[in-house]
Chain A
Amino acid sequence: MTGRSLTHRSLTRRLARLGAPVFGVVGFLVSWQVLVRAFGTPKYLLPQPSDILRHIGSDPGFYLRNARTTLWEATLGFLLAFVTALTVATLMAHSRFIDRALQPMAVLIQVTPIIAYAPAIVVWRGFGLEPILIVTALVCFVPFLLNGVSGLRSVDPNLLELAHSVHATRREIFLRLRLPSALPFLFSAARIAVGLALIGAVLGEFFAGVTGGLGYAVKVAQAHVLPLQLWGSIFVLGFLGASATLAIGAVERVALRWHSSQRH
């Protein structure tokens, strides 16, 4: 086999790998388009993807503005959840008592539908950004907490003993052993939390009396029967979620170069 045909083959393989996801998404949209046309579904019930995309293109400023608002809320809530969850996880990883005491609370936060207590938080904290951040942080909190505890506990016991053999301090053990060991777990949590953060932000906008964000755009579109704006907002939300997930995946590939999850 010649060198040229080899490079050619590896190039096609790479293109196929990168192209497959695009093919999936485009294929889905095309089937949607074809089926809606074939069945003659009215535009006000379910618009065609081409019309939705054209609508987004006709007023990019509207979507950009609202996307920025929602992304900001989601990011803040995500970071708030990460910091508090990691703090609590550190306490739980060091004390069995705190762990046992807080486990039921974590489960309660997770299993109680957020949609039920989101209005209660708005009643308590009033309208504005604050209830949105609380709702967003609450939905992201549990995955970070549970993965954080498992991660901080996942340190190789041999490494712990080695650290003890030279009388390492608790701080050194935390920073140099526990935290790096927890990283793969925290990245898994982050991938779950990205989607949850968007859910939290949109849900918060529904209830928090704000006049910006894609959740607000969805609410208005539903109230005024604007199917194109409704679907346009959904598309942009999907795009935001996918981009954020890809971004986290990229950071993960660099940060976890050493971890078995990154080897193929």
Chain B
Amino acid sequence: MTTNETNRANRANRTNEQPDVGRRAHVRIEGVGKVFQRRGQITEALRDVDLDIAEGEFISLLGPSGCGKSTLLRIIGGLVSNDTGVVTVAGATPETAREAKQFGLVPQAPALLPWHTVAKNVRFLTDLHTSSASAAGSQTVLGSAEIDGLLAAVGLGSFHDALPHELSGGMQQRVSLVRAFALGAPILLMDEPFAALDEITRSDMRYLLLDLWQRSGATVVFVTHSVTEAVILSDRVVVMAPRPGRVVTVEDVSLARPRSPEMEDDPVFHEHVSRLRTHLRESHSA
């Protein structure tokens, strides 16, 4: 089946599907396991992970290092293959979805092309693999005006012609965010994108991200090891534990949208945070 047919089939499936909570499962993860073998040492990165991610949902994978959250993110994105279980992205395999440019990746480091200006960097992913993307017919790649709008929204309106080394770390990460959103991909995969930033910049970036996300309506899978970050950003928080990497619990965040910095003083916010901390502590000592 060609990518085109797959996509058409997916769309047909979606309309027939009767989702239980009024939202379609965009990503379905069933019984997924992954084992890494390096220099004779075997690490069970993931064991028996089940998770449904709804379309347009903002979901966080929260846990200590080694809990397999980044691996899970890469399995969803078709960058790493799972050993057991099944992953479907809008009804197709992650590889097919990746070939159809369904994913916008935001890595931990900004990873900008140092030789390109900001304006060219945000179009980098859009410009790659153009032939097949147009064949897929499912792309809603953003136009120039829209991309300029995004750059303005993140406060980089006057930095189109700047080179990455002329920007601060926070500004570089904002370019990286815009680059992912510019792709118009229905699913955004974010691997601790704010981990290297200072606390103040980091806090600003969260609301900036939420703003961009609300404009796009994309599904976001956000990997983090910060409890507060997970709560303020997400609809649901998936708590993971290491050795073997697994899902401990999934917490629904009951804070209203849009989120604001004031909500971080809300007792509800603190209840979520303390409950998640308890889960993390218990799974760690267990």
Hey, which bits of chain A sit against chain B, CB under 8 A?
Answer: 156, 158-159, 161-169, 172, 176-177, 180, 183, 257-260, 263
Contact = CB atoms under 8 A, between A and B. Distances in A.
8 contacts: A158-B111, A162-B124, A165-B104, A165-B125, A166-B133, A176-B113, A180-B115, A257-B163
Contacts of B114: 258-259
Interface string B64-83: 00000000000001010000
A158 B74 CA distance: 13
B182 to A, nearest CB: 12
A162 B163 contact: no
Given A161-B107, A180-B113, A166 B163 contact: no
B105 interface: yes
Q: 8 nearest interchain CB pairs?
A: A158-B111, A165-B105, A168-B128, A258-B115, A158-B107, A167-B99, A258-B114, A166-B101
Interface string B107-129: 11101011110000000110011
A158 B125 CA distance: 13
Interface residues of B, number: 27
Given A176-B128, A260-B165, A263-B165, A165 B111 contact: no
A167 B101 contact: yes
B132 interface: yes
B79 A164 contact: yes
A84 B162 CA distance: 35
B165 A165 contact: no
B59 interface: no
Contact of A156 (B98, B111, B116): B111
Interface of B: 77, 79, 98-99, 101, 103-105, 107-109, 111, 113-116, 124-125, 128-129, 132-133, 163-165, 183, 189
B109 A158 contact: yes
Nearest to A156: B111
Nearest to B166: A258
Nearest to A256: B115
Contacts of B113: 159, 176-177, 180
A221 B129 CA distance: 61
A165 B77 contact: yes
A188 to B, nearest CB: 16
Nearest to B110: A158
A166 B125 contact: yes
Nearest to B125: A166
B144 to A, nearest CB: 19
Contacts of A161: 79, 105, 107
B190 to A, nearest CB: 12
B199 to A, nearest CB: 23
Given A159-B113, A161-B105, 13 more contacts: A161-B107, A162-B111, A162-B125, A166-B103, A166-B125, A166-B183, A167-B132, A168-B129, A176-B128, A258-B114, A258-B163, A258-B164, A259-B115
A164 B125 CA distance: 10
Interface centre among A159, A167, A260 (most CB of B within 10 A): A167
